[in-house]
Structure 1
Amino acid sequence: MIKAAFCDDDLSILNELHVLMDNYRVERNQEITYTAFHSPLELIAQIEKGMRFDILFLDVLMPGVNGIETAQEIREYDSAMKIIFLTSSAEYAVESYTVNAYFYQLKPIWPESFYRLMDSVLKECAQEQRRSLILRCKSGITQISLDRLMYCEVQGRTLVFHMQNGEQLKSVGSMDDLSGQLAKYNNFLRAHRSYLVNMEYIKTISSKAILMVNQDEIPVPHGKCSEIKNQYLEYAFSKDQVVLA
């Protein structure tokens, strides 16, 4: 289920977006829920409380807090949301991309352009959801790409995600639940009760540790080395990688 939001101080624009989205849902047979906000402060307040949207249509020119400032606030809580700016002027087009905007849509919004835009953003959402995780971190809601996740370790009740770029993200959760969610992906290996490893980033495997490409070492439990090596070799063969024995 995709969750969308509209934020515009012009009620006629909100009504227009309602009609466009209703027609799109029916014609494309899409399950999309949406919420309308007449004030950016109201929108920010709901996001601060934990409300999450996949797509946001956000007016740029609004009294008080404008759309760019609103997006900057939102990015402190959610880096994954697809923000689509709505405006009658191209004045803020360049600035909009400083907050990682998905698109900058000029008004008036014609049905044809709305449909093309929705087709595009939904396709990207689907692609990201298939190979990504949504984390609720102290810094807010973050979407991470599984392809960039090197390994995850549990520290107490906290999961620490070690990313390819050296970034570490922390989220409350259990390793058992995470392993269950990622079981459908054959590149993740539960090497230890406290570690889940992306085999794409394994450099070497010894009887005591798995050495990752960034030189981090993952402990190998006693007696589990052969099992880990076999699982890694099965993964390598499944990718048609050359293995010399």
Structure 2
Amino acid sequence: MIQIGFCDDDPSVLDELHELLGSYRTEHNADIAPTAFQSPFELLASIEKGARFDILLLDVLMPGENGIEAAREIRQYDSNVKIIFLTSSAEFAVQSYTVGAYFYQLKPIWPDSFFRLMDSVIAACSRESSVSLILRCKTGITRVELDKLEYCEVIRRSLLLHKT
């Protein structure tokens, strides 16, 4: 299950994200669990208590602490979470990548572009969670995902990998 947290000070944006994630979950039969936060302080408190997210959707411009500062603090607890900034201002785009942002999406959020972004970030999460081997062979370097490996055999000096 993919854990998705989203944080925005505007309740209408939180509702919109709930609807978009619900539509995405239905159309793609995705196993996702969304959690909404109205302030970065709520999100940070949840993470400090042990909540773990695969993907975070953060607004940049929020009262108190902005999304970039919140992401900087989140990185102290989790360096692997995919952070996507959703904002109406392109002003912080470059600064967002200093905290390892996965993407910077300008509002308004259109369903087609949001679904493509979710496809991309969920695929990245699943690639990282799969266990694999990287092997050097005659043709170069290859990655073998262990969940697709049926068995191995050695014939003379050759290793044969049989995959599903």
Helix, strand or coil: the match of 2:33? strand
1:125–1:184 distance in 2 versus 1, CA, 3 Å: closer
Whether the 8 Å CA contact 2:8–2:14 is kept in 1: the answer is yes
What amino acid maps onto 2:65 in structure 1?
V
**Aligned CA-pair RMSD:** 2.1
Separation in 2, partners of 1:7, 1:237: 53
Helix, strand or coil: the match of 2:90? coil
Whether the 8 Å CA contact 2:3–2:33 is kept in 1: the answer is yes
User: Match of 2:121?
Assistant: 121
Divergent runs of 4+, >4 A: 183-186
TM-score, normalization by structure 1: 0.55
User: Match of 1:39?
Assistant: 39
Separation in 2, partners of 1:23, 1:55: 17
Q: Deviations over 1:144-168 (max 9, x none)?
A: xx76xxxxxxxxxxxxxxxxxxxxx
State the 1:49 CA deviation.
1.2
User: Match of 1:61?
Assistant: 61
Separation in 2, partners of 1:48, 1:239: 46
What amino acid maps onto 1:238 in structure 2?
L
Separation in 1, partners of 2:8, 2:67: 9
Unaligned residue ranges in structure 2 (runs of 5+): 135-145
Q: Which has the higher contact order (CA 8 A, sep 6+)?
A: 2
TM-score, normalization by structure 2: 0.82
Whether the 8 Å CA contact 2:131–2:147 is kept in 1: the answer is no
**Which structure has the larger Rg?**
1
1:41–1:27 distance in 2 versus 1, CA, 3 Å: same
What amino acid maps onto 1:101 in structure 2?
A
**Mapping for residues 143-222 of structure 1, pairs under 5 Å:** none
What amino acid maps onto 1:47 in structure 2?
I
Helix, strand or coil: the match of 1:75? helix
Unaligned residue ranges in structure 1 (runs of 5+): 133-145, 148-182, 187-232, 241-245
Matched, 1:237 2:158: yes
Q: Deviations over 1:17-73 (max 9, x none)?
A: 000000110011111001000010010011111110001100000011100000000
